[in-house]
Structure 1
Amino acid sequence: MLLDIAKLSVSYGKAVALEDVTMRVGEGEFVAVLGPNGAGKSTLLKAVSRAQPSVGHLMFRGESLHKYAAHEVVGKGICHCPEGRRLFPELTVLKNLMLGAYLRRDKDGIEKDLDFVYSLFPILKERTHQIVSTLSGGQQQMVAIGRALMGKPSLLLLDEPSVGIAHRLKMEIFDAIKRIQRGGTAILMAEQDAQSALRIADRVYVLEHGHIGREGTSAELASDDYIRQAYLGVA
């Protein structure tokens, strides 16, 4: 198992954000986490990337992540594309992308991965030397995903990649994410767009009020009456 989580809990002072969350992600698997705002989706991803302290069982390839700091987790093969993108707006597209490879020394591998990012998002190649703040929101999201890929992750954490993005670019981004998985990278994605997530993910967990409420394959949850009513708007 690539990522194995059991009884994971996170609190902000007296407020409990996650409580006894148990889930897993296999090698090369695409797992989506659905849930409303405030359900704990972002907190879950931050706990995995060690950006947020947590208690419980958090194992990556059989090794506990609790002993590592966030920057060390990147070196282990976990790269986090956070909500809100967190880019360096005054830098160019290329410089933002290359910041994702800051721990790497394999020059040929870096060039190969940069070419892969440009194949996923051709518009970024056209705008290599453009300042990121001048890009559209969808294009900035492409840069954020590309930067995470430049870390050469075994597990890519994606937090709400479709928020605030035009429908056409959203579909382009989701198709690119599926291509990333086909290339062998496992993906754990927090997402509110249930319809898109169920279309491309292998398995889905539904997180509500800090707890896992439902889990199953995308096909199973797409036919679940509660999911259809609460998340897909189908009576």
Structure 2
Amino acid sequence: MPLLEIRNLEVRYGKAVAIERVSLRVGLHEVVGVLGSNGAGKTTLLRAISGVLSSVGTVHFEERRIDGMPPHRIVAAGICHCPEGRHLFRELSAEKNLRLGAYLRKNCDEIECDLERVFGLFPTLRARRSQRAGTLSGGEQQMVAIGRALMGKPKLLMLDEPSAGLAPQLKSTIFRAIDDIRRDGTSVLLVEQDASSAQRIVDRIYLLEHGHVVREGASREFFDDREIRRFYLGI
């Protein structure tokens, strides 16, 4: 059974349909990419899974139905969402932002262990741990945002455009970290516009267009298809 399974998910903004009859699954230890242009419905999809948006359809996580649950219960179930735009508490230190990701957890020893795990993924943050988040570079802020989500100890990590606005070297750092996160046993649902970078780490891909899944399959199938590369992925 898949870790996450979505069937016929639909989200509306008033009368406008943002996503319609979207079905998707994520397996254990998988990185699944959701690609598509701006306005395709990628962010809406993640927000619906995390309970921020109301939806029609079913969302099962570890065979348990979670659609309709409030966001904090979905986090407690094991899904953590790192949103587009980072949304850090700018006046708080990098470390305090990270620790806020563990607000539902009680075991202090495990929290400290996971903080060390984040510093291992992003060594720069160890040196910046006392620095106000608002004074960090864009790449460092993205590291804090991903690290904060990891501090929730997710079984499924959802990342929305983690490489947006970053220089190529920092993008490489972020994507290496995502691959390491998967190797450590956390499944990842990755929304990304940079198809070239995503192809290095994703196992399977769902292509969204105007709120619909227009194609799905193994990563290699997508990137070996010249027409998809040209018209959908822009590479």
Corresponding residue SS for 1:45: helix
Percent of pairs identical after alignment?
Answer: 59
Q: Is the 8 A contact 2:36 2:233 kept in 1?
A: no
CA displacement, residues 16-60 of structure 1 (integer Å, 9 cap, x when unaligned):
000000110011111000000000000000011111110001111
TM-score, length of structure 1 as denominator length? 0.98
What is the CA distance between 1:68 and its match in structure 2? 1.2
Give the corresponding residue for 2:44: 43
Give the corresponding residue for 2:182: 181
What is the CA distance between 1:225 and its match in structure 2? 2.3
CA RMSD of aligned residues (A): 0.9
Give the corresponding residue for 2:21: 20
Query: What is the rounded CA distance, in whole Å, between the counterparts of 1:88 and 1:26 in structure 2?
Result: 32
Q: Is the 8 A contact 1:194 1:231 kept in 2?
A: no
Query: What is the rounded CA distance, in whole Å, between the counterparts of 1:52 and 1:67 in structure 2?
Result: 9
Task: Describe how 1:82-93 pairs up with structure 2 within 5 A.
Answer: 82-93=83-94
Give the corresponding residue for 2:3: 2
Give the corresponding residue for 1:145: 146
Corresponding residue SS for 2:172: helix
Structure 1: which 5+ runs fail to align?
Answer: none
Letter in 1 for 2:129: T
What is the CA distance between 1:231 and its match in structure 2? 4.2
Corresponding residue SS for 1:200: coil
CA displacement, residues 161-208 of structure 1 (integer Å, 9 cap, x when unaligned):
010111111110110010000000000010000111111101010001
Query: What is the rounded CA distance, in whole Å, between the counterparts of 1:103 and 1:77 in structure 2?
Result: 11
Letter in 1 for 2:23: T
Query: What is the rounded CA distance, in whole Å, between the counterparts of 1:194 and 1:231 in structure 2?
Result: 10
Asked if 1:80 is matched to 2:64, the reply is: no
Query: What is the rounded CA distance, in whole Å, between the counterparts of 1:189 and 1:72 in structure 2?
Result: 21
Corresponding residue SS for 2:215: strand
Corresponding residue SS for 1:36: coil
What is the CA distance between 1:67 and its match in structure 2? 3.6
Q: Is the 8 A contact 1:155 1:185 kept in 2?
A: yes
Equivalenced residues, count? 234
Task: Describe how 1:163-202 pairs up with structure 2 within 5 A.
Answer: 163-202=164-203
What is the CA distance between 1:226 and its match in structure 2? 2.4
Corresponding residue SS for 1:148: helix
Query: What is the rounded CA distance, in whole Å, between the counterparts of 2:160 and 2:174 in structure 1?
Result: 13
Q: Is the 8 A contact 2:80 2:157 kept in 1?
A: yes
Q: Is the 8 A contact 2:26 2:187 kept in 1?
A: yes
